[in-house]
């Protein structure tokens, strides 16, 4: 039946049908040719490396142990003793100072070797005194505790490290030394 109907088209009707097909085809193309495009930003921040260099060693100077006690060097270089410890006349203390450079707009973490305590060892490689460290970003007095975070100002900064040394009664005379490693990393 269908075939018979198609075959009965006259020539004019067939042309019209073809024309319609072309229109349909065009309409279909319009429908599927929609494309959309959008742009966005891409960003990256390259930071100046953070660096740390020791500028000054921590020194407790000369003292006598006598009945023992403590000797403290504050981050502002102030020195004080407790108990029987007797500071040497004219002897001064200095806090350690580390100088930093890096990116101003980022805080950094600070970690210290030996956690809170560092042992200073006599040249006999056996006798020790315990050092409880304190730190500050400025040469402040009355510093307690260890800072775990800092921030640079205009790309530079410092970390000051002092501490309290525990001196035993009759602590073996001699030269004691140890080392403190301070590590900084961007947060």
Partner 1 sequence: MCTALGEIALKKFRHWFWVASGCAWAVSSVAWAAIGISDAQGLAFGKFVAGSGGTVTVSPAGVRSFSGGVVLVPSGPGAAAQFVVTGDPGLSYSISLPGDGMVSLTSGSNTMAVNDFTSSPTLVGVIGPGGSQTLLVGAKLSVGGNQAHGSYSGTFSVTVNYN
Residues at the site binding partner 1, with contacts judged by CB under 8 A: 2, 5-6, 9, 12-13, 16-17, 19-21, 24, 27-28, 30-32, 34-50, 103, 106-107, 186-187
Cβ closest to partner 1, residue 9 vs residue 116: 9
Judged by phi (left if over 0) then psi (alpha if -120 to 50, else beta), residue 148 lies in alpha
Least distance from partner 1 to the Cβ atom of residue 35, Å: 4
Least distance from partner 1 to the Cβ atom of residue 32, Å = 5
Q: Please, which residue, 29 or 115, has the CB nearer to partner 1? A: 29
Q: What is the dihedral angle through the alpha carbons of 117, 94, 101, 49, rounded to the nearest 10 degrees?
A: -30
Provide, rounded to whole angstroms, the least separation between the CB of residue 53 and partner 1: 17
Q: Which residue lies nearer to partner 1 by CB, 76 or 103?
A: 103
Q: Per residue in 113-151, is it b (16+ CB within 10 Å) or e — as a string?
A: eeeeebebbbeeeebbbbbbbbbbbebeeebeebbeebe
**Minimum distance, C-beta of residue 81 to partner 1, in the bound complex (Å):** 42
What is d(CA 76, CA 139) in angstroms, rounded to the nearest whole number?
Answer: 4
Supply 111's token pair: 């970690």
Shortest Cβ 146–partner 1 spacing (Å): 21
Nearer to partner 1, 10 or 89 (CB): 10
In the three-class reduction of DSSP (H, G, I as helix; E, B as strand; rest coil), residue 3 is classed as helix
Distance (Å, whole) CA 104 – CA 81: 38
CB 167 within 8 A of CB 66: no
Smallest gap, in angstroms, from Cβ of residue 18 to partner 1? Answer: 9
The pair of three-digit structure tokens given for residue 171, joined into one six-digit string? 């602590």
Nearest residue (CB) to partner 1, 44 versus 175: 44
80 or 111: CB nearest partner 1: 111
């Amino acid at each position: 039946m269908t075939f018979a109907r198609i075959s009965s088209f006259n020539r004019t009707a067939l042309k019209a049908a073809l024309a319609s097909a072309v229109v349909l085809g065009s309409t279909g193309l319009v429908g599927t040719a929609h494309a959309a495009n959008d742009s966005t930003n891409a960003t990256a921040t390259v930071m100046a490396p953070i660096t740390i260099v020791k500028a000054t060693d921590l020194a407790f100077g000369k003292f006598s142990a006598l009945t023992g006690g403590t000797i403290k060097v504050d981050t502002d270089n102030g020195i004080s003793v407790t108990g029987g410890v007797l500071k040497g006349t004219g002897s001064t203390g200095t806090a350690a100072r580390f100088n930093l450079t890096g990116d101003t707009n980022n805080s950094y973490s600070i970690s210290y070797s030996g956690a809170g305590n560092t042992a200073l060892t006599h040249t006999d490689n056996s006798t020790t005194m315990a050092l409880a460290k304190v730190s500050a970003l400025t040469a402040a007095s009355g510093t307690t505790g260890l800072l775990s975070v800092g921030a640079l100002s205009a790309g530079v900064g410092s970390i000051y490290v002092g501490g309290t040394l525990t001196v035993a009664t009759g602590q073996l005379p001699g030269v004691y030394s140890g080392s403190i490693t301070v590590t900084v990393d961007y947060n």
